[in-house]
Amino acid sequence: MGDPQDTNKNSLGGETQRDNGNHHQHEPSDEDTEPALHEQHEHAEHEGKGNDHGSHEGHGEGHGGMHEGHEQMFRRRFFVSTLLSIPVLLYSETLQEWLGFSVPAFPGSEWINPVFAVVVFVYGGVPFLQMAVPELKDRAPGMMTLISMAISVAFVYSLASVVFPTQSAFFWELVTLIDIMLLGHWIEMRSVRRASSAIDELAKLMPDTAERITDDGETEEVPVSDLSEGDLVLVRPGASIPADGTVEKGDSDVEESMITGESKPVSKEPGDEVIGGTINGDGSLRVRVGATGEETTLAGIMRLVEDAQQSKSKTQVLADRAAGWLFYVALGAAIVTAIAWTLAVSFNATVIERVVTVLVIACPHALGLAIPLVVAINTSLAARNGMLVRDRIAMEEARNLDAIIFDKTGTLTKGEHGVVDMATVDGVNEDDALALAAAVESDSEHMIARAIREAAAERELTAPDASGFEAIKGRGVRATVDVSSFAGGSSDGGDEVYVGGPNLLTQLDSEIPDHLKRFADEAGENAQTVVYLVREGELIAAFAMADVIREESYRVVDALHDLGVEVAMLTGDSQDVADAVADELGIDTVFAEVLPENKDKKVQELQDQDKLVGMVGDGVNDAPALTRADVGIAIGSGTDVAVQSADVILVQNNPLDVVRLVKLSKASYRKMQENIVWAAGYNVFALPLAAGVLAPIGILLSPAIGALLMSLSTVIVAINAQLLRRVDLSLPNLPGVSPPNA
């Protein structure tokens, strides 16, 4: 792939100064979270006091802690307010009359309703007033403004009724409205909460300490933060490389898939570049440090993830838009009501009561629950079907996806090499050849050895005994194998059997039969690795090795095409490997040999074509692309950072769940629309009646009847939301696909 490290350092390593990002380092209390709470909720990733890039500790607390603090605050206020509302409900004359019960009166009991209602308003209602401030500042009234208007009018009018007795007060309506809105917001915040700890997970890839080699050749353990450019460090087998640098001594294979996306471990020898955070293989390396701290490739990826998180666009919730419309409708209706009644009966207490009734009834309990109830059921239903929803807005957007980009390694493929084809010479059957190769590779932990052994196990073959195992550097392995049970095998002492690549054949001076040469050429055209089996100096078989495509990948591409969704593939692998996989699966667009920062840009490239883009991945290198995408979908068995960067996690590691995600998103959005119609429909019906449109014929909606209709609307919305559980997420057009785990 060339020298991606140099590119990474040039494009990722520079310091980035920003003043955006809101990273509080503590769990917010009621006092410091309530002011402008809604503004923080909507703009948390756009406004704030800056961010320290030198330390990423506590980043998860910055975003996740803030949302969790808000969620816990609403939960606590809901339960306390509900408890305090009980006396108000019990001593409400309207409820006593409706339900046919009575409670004992005592001196001062007439103050129970106003006193407890005031406490509920101050404790549970004031946060909504504070959250309405940003809406009013932005001149975009929404749900918070509508709630604030209703509870404020009900509160002031009800208190006034204590001093200036009128026909009715709204104490019980006030407290129940506050309770239900607290419940709705608690459910919403719990669904929205997303522990944005991707930066922490990235930081964990870098080891805490390194073994620095001193001038006298000794090693000393030092914190990674103490390393400087030019230091020489020892990287032992299996250890994480502590910084970007250049190999000065040693040979090893380095696992770079979590950074570059390359599916195969990359061979490293003196002069090669290595990336901090990648995993060393079986050999020891001495690495000259070239970049540390903020200059490393990993730090650059961390900044990309953070940039993508902060650049996510604000998407307004349907219910909030409906509430905005309703706010203006309610104000207009109140003004018209005041004018009409004043002209009809002159200005008096009746006019005020009519106007107050209109403004209070304008705030629907049902609209406050219409979306959160669907979101909660959607989240539960998705979880039972192997999908964890971390961002409700992304879940809503999934229904409109124009293109879905899949990472290749570990997503469309298994991320591990396997035997995909083989050929043998005349007189040797495939099972015997595979068993011989498995015997030779029995003591090796190389990925090719594991692939050959797994292929033999799948065919239920028994490998013969082998001895004298020897690794031939850069060429392959050899062993003495008991082949007495094989055709043409010797009966004493065993045969000398080799497994290796083209360099092995050169060393052994083995001739390649024409049909095996054609087999190797064809495999090369398909970007497959070929290894050979040599017995007693004679080449008898060839095996084609490749990253194995998941069986589900064929089906998911077809299913998404049926839904009209474009399928793209994004990979750090070579163009040949990517094209081979894309041709096999029928993928529309291929992005190959893509470095981490360009994966992010490729998503943006499709978005610039006015496409709503989903991204499915599992590696650290996918994290910026996952967060940049409109809908980021992580394979659950992937790295922690990919999971933390995603909006939806596929727990069962099954790409077909992407199709179910789109279907569930469509069904959930339909329920949201239906619930908004039911909730807003109540207002369309109740507001004119409350205003007195039918008063000339003796029909006038009283506050009590309005409250009854409000409750009925809430029940209908709740029942309709429950019907989402009956949505069919099976894939009938794909034979052989197992049904979801509903």
Active site positions, annotated: 407
Which CA distances in Å does 339 have to 60, 344, 576, 681, 697?
A: 54, 9, 76, 25, 19
List phi, psi (to 5°) of 476.
160, -150
The closest of 643, 189, 672 to 396, measured between CA atoms, is 672
Q: Is 2 helix (H, G, I), strand (E, B) or coil?
A: coil
Kindly state the DSSP code that residue 239 receives in the 8-state scheme: P
> If you write DSSP's letter for every residue of 499-530 in order, what string do you get?
EE-HHHHHHHTPPPPHHHHHHHHHHHHTT-EE
Residues in the chain: 742
Cα–Cα distance for residue pair 149/145, rounded to 1 Å? 6
**Could you give the residue ranges of the DSSP H alpha helices within 289-387?**
297-310, 318-345, 349-361, 365-384
End-to-end CA distance of the chain: give it in Å, rounded: 44
589-591 and 566-570 strand pairing: parallel
CA distances from 219 to 225, 291, 716 (A): 17, 20, 72
Cα–Cα separations (whole angstroms), residue 734 to 381, 554, 562, 659, 710: 21, 10, 10, 11, 45
Q: What residues contact 137, with CB distance under 8 A and at least 6 apart?
A: none
Instruction: Name the amino acid, one letter, at 325.
Output: W
Beta bridge partners, 347, equal none
